Amino acid sequence: MMTPRTVGLGIAIIAAATSFSVLFLPAMTAPTQPSEIFRARTNIENEGRVLYIRNGCIGCHTQYIRPSDWAFEPLRVSQAGDYIADSPHLLGSERTGPDLSQEGGLHPDDWQAAHFHDPRFVRPASIMPDFEFFSDDQLRELIAYVQSLGGTMADARVARQNYWKPALIAAYARGQDANAEFLYAHVPPQWATLPNPYPADANALAQGEFVYEQECINCHGPVGDGNGVAAPYLNPKPFDFTVLKRQPWSGGLLYYQIMNGITGSAMPYFKEDLESAKIWDVSNYIATQFIGTAPTLPKVPIPYQGAIPASREPKGNKQ
C-alpha cells in the first residue's frame, strides 16, 4: 500500500543512497597520495590556471584520459593522484577540442603563443576561438599553465623542446642554406635517401593540396616560401621549400620531417593526425608545387648527426 509513510520512507532511502554515493563515497575514497608524475605548480602556472577557469576552456577541453580512450598513442591513462592539488578539478566532460591532460611540451611556447593569438594560424581548420585579448603577462601565464599539464612527464618534454630550440635558432641564423643542411644532417640516412613510393598523379596532388590547405598553409605560406600568417610569431621561421631547389632533398626526407615534426620548432608532429598515404601525398604536392626539381643527394656528403627525438616520444629527454 502506498501510504504517505511508505512514500516518505522511500524518499528518505533514495536520498540517503544518493548522498552516500555522490558525496560521502568519493570523499572517503579521494586520493591522499600524489601519483608518480605529480609535481606542485609554480605561481605563474597557478595564475594561468585561473585564466583557464575564467575563460571557459573547460567548456571544450577535458583533462582526463580514460582507460577506455582509444587513441593512436595515448600518452598516459590519468590517475587520481595526478589531481591532488586541483580544487576545483578541471576534468571536464566536453571534448570539442582535444584532451589536455598531457599537453605540456607537445609544442614549444612559440607555437602556443601563435595558437592563442589565433588558432587558425597554426591549425587552419580549427574551430577554437581566438584569445587575442590576453595581455603579454596573461599569455605567459596561460602558456606556463598548459606547458605544466602532464606533471613530470610534461617537464621532460618541455626540457626536450628547450634543449633543441637554441640549436635550431642558431642554425636558422646561419642562413637558409646552412639551415637546410643542418636539418638534413638530423634525418636518419635511410629516410634522407628514400624516394617517395607514391606516384605524383592528379589524385595524389589533389589530396596533397587539400592536406596542405588544412594543416600547413598558414605557416609555410600559400607559395611555400615560409611566409604564412603565423611566421611573425615563430622562431625559427617556417621552412621555405624553395630553398630545396638548390639543396639535397628526397620524398623520404619530407616524409620523415612531417611525420616526426621538428622538436624545438613550431613544426608539429603529424604522425598522429595524418595517415601515411596523406603524408606521402602532401610531400608530392610540396615537391611538384614548390620545389619543382628532381630529388638530389648531397654533392658533398653531409654527415648524419643523429635524429631529433619527436616531442611525443616517451623516453630520451634530451637527444
Q: Which residues bind ligand HEC (CB under 6 A)?
A: 52, 55-57, 59-61, 96-98, 100, 103, 106-107, 111, 119, 122-123, 126-129, 131, 142, 146, 168, 172, 179-180, 183, 211, 215-216, 219-220, 230, 234, 236, 238-239, 249, 254, 257-258, 262, 265-268, 270, 282
Cβ of residue 2: shortest distance to ligand HEC, in angstroms?
Answer: 48
Supply the DSSP symbol for 58. Answer: G
The dihedrals phi and psi of 46, each to the nearest 5 degrees, come to -65, -35
Give whichever of 34 and 273 is closer to ligand HEC, judged by the CB atom: 273
Nearer to ligand HEC, 205 or 267 (CB): 267
Residue (37 or 260) nearer to ligand HEC, CB: 260
CB of 59 to ligand HEC, least distance (A): 5
Distance CA 278, CA 199 (A): 13
Q: Which is nearer to ligand HEC, 34 or 128 (CB)?
A: 128
CB atoms within 10 A of CB 276: 11
* Least distance CB 153 / ligand HEC (angstroms): 14
Of residues 10 and 166, the one with the C-beta less far from ligand HEC: 166
Residue number with CB closer to ligand HEC (81 or 235): 235
Closest distance of CB 200 from ligand HEC, Å? 14
DSSP characters over 61-97: ------TT---SS------GGGGTT-SS----S--SS
Comparison of 61 and 117: residue with beta carbon closer to ligand HEC: 61
Q: Which residue is nearest to ligand HEC (CB)?
A: 97
Rounded least distance, CB 80 to ligand HEC, Å: 23
In the bound state with ligand HEC, the residue whose beta carbon lies nearer, of 6 and 276, is: 276
- Nearest distance from residue 34's CB to ligand HEC, in Å? 24
- Output the smallest distance, CB 152 to ligand HEC, in A: 19
Q: Read out DSSP for the chain? A: ---HHHHHHHHHHHHHHHHIIIIIHHHHH---S--TT--PPPHHHHHHHHHHHHTTGGGT------TT---SS------GGGGTT-SS----S--SS---TT-TTSS-HHHHHHHHH-HHHHSTT--PPP-TT--HHHHHHHHHHHHHTTHHHHHHHHHHHHHHHHHHHHHHHT-HHHHHHHHHHTS-HHHHTPPP-S---HHHHHHHHHHIIIIIHHHH-TTSSS--TTGGG-SSPPP-GGGGGSS-B-HHHHHHHHHH--TTSS----TTTS-HHHHHHHHHHHIIIII-S--B--SS------PPPPTT-SS-S--
Please state the closest distance from residue 218 (CB atom) to ligand HEC, in A.
7
Q: Give me the least distance between CB of 170 and ligand HEC, in Å please.
A: 10
Closer CB to ligand HEC, 81 or 176, in the complex? 176
**Phi and psi based region of residue 189 (left: phi greater than 0; alpha: psi -120 to 50; beta: remaining):** alpha
